[in-house]
């Protein structure tokens, strides 16, 4: 029987490939902080159970709390922690090859490019902080070829806007994360992740990222881009039922629904309407789309941030109007991102903004997850540290084994 074991023993590629799920000490650490009650008792009772990969648990960029995001090492860690589905954010290089990066223009914060001979190719090189002007740089995947991209080393996503030197700019990992596992970060193409995920025994949720360059790019249109991503799954023989293609661009989702209907069934619209001034999950009149209209377009999955799905009523976390309307329209809900906020003693920040008054310690990770799973009815949870979600899903008997 597998038990919660030391973290260090869980994060080896051999364990991930073999399908062994080991969760490390974090779930027990969070449970210990919870107030006594039925939820704590239930979660504590599962400490000695055998854990399986679970599709409810989605590795957000792998296991990005402590591993360089979108690297082989991060993906291995997510699979070892039982993520049944793992994310590759998709963008493209100068030669229009698909690679895994959270944004087309994040190489200066997620890789070592500025410390390599490729730095002169960046859209904007490193500029140190000077007075009121912050330090800056911008390096895009589209600035370099695929061959050049493959020479980079992934690092923890961080930069220091006050940096006077390049070394200080690059070495700015938040103190609640770590560089312990960042000595090696193997960057990957999208096609490579497909083959690697197949070996890991996990399913796929690629996100087509909005380009930083003007489209079409050297004859490469947005539709070409959306189609190329799907084509790489078809070429690898991956069934559409194992793929949840995502985009913040509704037009991409509609393209898949129309042109790749099997993949379109599970295409996920990442709703970023929250960026609109005055938008509120409690006020349907502020929403860009009615839930029924999205459903009528053929959209079956939507994914807003966690805070959009919950509200506080008499100090109790409850489903938001947004969540209720989505469920009423028959839309499947996925949400993001658990354990991306660091310690929660100060209210949890952006991801907890609608329940900040009730957020005062790390136990809220499990308490919020329970409401999202049991009352909101989400189908999956993105997490920067999938072990917590895997533990919950196995203990509560939700989700499906992968």
Structure tokens at 182: 């960042």
> In the predicted model, what is the mean pLDDT of residues 256-268?
98
Asked whether the predicted pLDDT for residue 12 surpasses 50, the reply is no
- pLDDT (tens digit per residue) in 316-361: 999 999 999 999 999 999 999 999 999 999 999 999 999 999 999 9
Q: Over the range 265-283, which residues count as b (16 or more CB within 10 Å of their CB) and which as e?
A: bbbbbbbbebeeeeebbee
In this prediction, residue 356 carries a pLDDT of: 97
Identify the band that residue 5 occupies on the pLDDT scale cut at 50, 70 and 90: very low
Asked whether the predicted pLDDT for residue 250 surpasses 80, the reply is yes
CATH code where residue 287 lies: 3.20.20.190
| Domain assignment present for 132 | no
Q: How many domains does one find in the chain?
A: 1
For helices 387-396 and 26-33, angle between their N-to-C axes, nearest 10 degrees? 70
Structure tokens at 398: 């939700």
User: CB–CB of 380/309 below 8 Å?
Assistant: no
In this prediction, residue 19 carries a pLDDT of: 63
| Domain assignment present for 368 | yes
User: CB–CB of 46/391 below 8 Å?
Assistant: yes
In this prediction, residue 24 carries a pLDDT of: 96
| Domain assignment present for 113 | no
Helices (H), 22-135: 26-33, 38-44, 72-80, 107-110
The CA-based dihedral angle spanning residues 251, 253, 259, 262, taken in that order and rounded to the nearest 10 degrees: -170
Mean pLDDT for the chain? 95
Q: From the CA atom positions of the chain, what is the Rg in Å? A: 21
| Domain assignment present for 208 | yes
Question: Beta strands of 16-159 (E only): which ranges?
Answer: 54-59, 83-92, 98-100, 124-127, 136-138
| Domain assignment present for 204 | yes
Structure tokens at 276: 């609109």
In this prediction, residue 15 carries a pLDDT of: 54
A 10 A CB-CB count for 227 gives: 15
> In the predicted model, what is the mean pLDDT of residues 36-51?
97
Backbone angles phi, psi at 392, to 5 degrees: -60, -50
Identify the band that residue 49 occupies on the pLDDT scale cut at 50, 70 and 90: very high
Q: How far apart are the first and last CA of the chain?
A: 19
Bridge-partner residues for 99, per DSSP? 91, 189
- The percent of residues in the chain predicted with pLDDT above 90, rounded, is 94
Task: Write down the residue that tokens 């002007």 correspond to.
Answer: 133
Asked whether the predicted pLDDT for residue 8 surpasses 70, the reply is no
Q: What is the DSSP letter of 234?
A: H
Asked whether the predicted pLDDT for residue 3 surpasses 60, the reply is no
3-state DSSP call for residue 303? coil
- pLDDT (tens digit per residue) in 153-195: 999 999 999 999 999 999 999 999 999 999 999 999 999 999 9
Can you tell me the distance from the alpha carbon of 111 to that of 68, in angstroms, rounded to the nearest whole number?
Answer: 9
Full domain range(s) for residue 281: 7-104+186-396
- pLDDT (tens digit per residue) in 86-95: 999 999 999 9
Backbone angles phi, psi at 84, to 5 degrees: -85, -20
Closest by CA to 169, choosing from 180, 157, 179, 181, is 157
| Domain assignment present for 160 | no
Asked whether the predicted pLDDT for residue 27 surpasses 50, the reply is yes
| Domain assignment present for 149 | no
Can you tell me the distance from the alpha carbon of 312 to that of 307, in angstroms, rounded to the nearest whole number?
Answer: 11
Identify the band that residue 97 occupies on the pLDDT scale cut at 50, 70 and 90: very high
Bridge-partner residues for 88, per DSSP? 206
In this prediction, residue 401 carries a pLDDT of: 83
> In the predicted model, what is the mean pLDDT of residues 277-295?
97
| Domain assignment present for 79 | yes
Identify the band that residue 402 occupies on the pLDDT scale cut at 50, 70 and 90: confident
């Amino acid at each position: 029987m597998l038990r919660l074991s030391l973290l260090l023993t869980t994060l080896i590629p051999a364990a991930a490939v073999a399908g062994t799920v080991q969760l490390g000490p974090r779930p027990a650490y969070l449970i210990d902080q919870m107030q006594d009650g039925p939820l704590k008792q239930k979660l504590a009772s599962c400490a000695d159970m055998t854990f399986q990969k679970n599709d409810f648990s989605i590795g957000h960029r792998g296991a990005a709390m402590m591993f360089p995001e979108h690297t082989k090492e991060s993906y291995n860690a997510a699979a070892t922690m039982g993520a049944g589905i793992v994310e590759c954010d998709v963008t493209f290089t100068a030669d229009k090859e698909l690679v895994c990066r959270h944004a087309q223009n994040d190489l200066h914060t997620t890789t070592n490019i500025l410390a390599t001979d490729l730095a002169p190719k960046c859209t904007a090189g490193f500029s140190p902080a000077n007075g009121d002007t912050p330090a800056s740089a911008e390096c895009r995947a589209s600035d370099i070829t695929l061959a050049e991209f493959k020479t980079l080393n992934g690092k923890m996503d961080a930069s220091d806007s006050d940096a006077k030197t390049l070394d200080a700019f690059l070495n700015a990992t938040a103190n609640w994360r770590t560089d312990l596992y960042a000595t090696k970060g193997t960057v990957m193409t999208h096609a490579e992740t497909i083959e690697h995920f197949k070996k890991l025994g996990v399913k796929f949720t690629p996100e087509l990222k909005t380009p930083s360059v003007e489209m079409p790019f050297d004859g490469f249109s947005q539709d070409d881009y959306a189609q190329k991503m799907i084509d790489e799954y078809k070429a690898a023989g991956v069934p559409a039922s194992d793929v949840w293609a995502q985009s913040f661009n509704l037009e991409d989702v509609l393209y898949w629904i129309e042109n790749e209907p099997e993949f379109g069934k599970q295409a996920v619209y990442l709703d970023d309407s929250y960026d609109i001034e005055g938008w509120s999950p409690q006020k349907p009149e502020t929403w860009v789309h009615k839930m029924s209209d999205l459903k009528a377009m053929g959209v079956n999955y939507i994914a807003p941030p966690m805070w959009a799905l919950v509200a506080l009523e008499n100090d109790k976390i409850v489903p938001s109007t947004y969540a209720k309307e989505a469920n009423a329209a028959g839309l499947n809900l996925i949400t993001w991102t658990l354990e991306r906020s660091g310690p929660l003693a100060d209210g949890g920040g952006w991801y907890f903004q609608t329940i900040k008054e009730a957020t005062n310690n790390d136990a809220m990770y499990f308490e919020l997850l329970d409401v999202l799973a049991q009352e909101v009815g989400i189908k999956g949870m993105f997490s920067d540290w999938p072990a917590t979600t895997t533990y919950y899903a196995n203990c509560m008997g939700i989700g499906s084994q992968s």
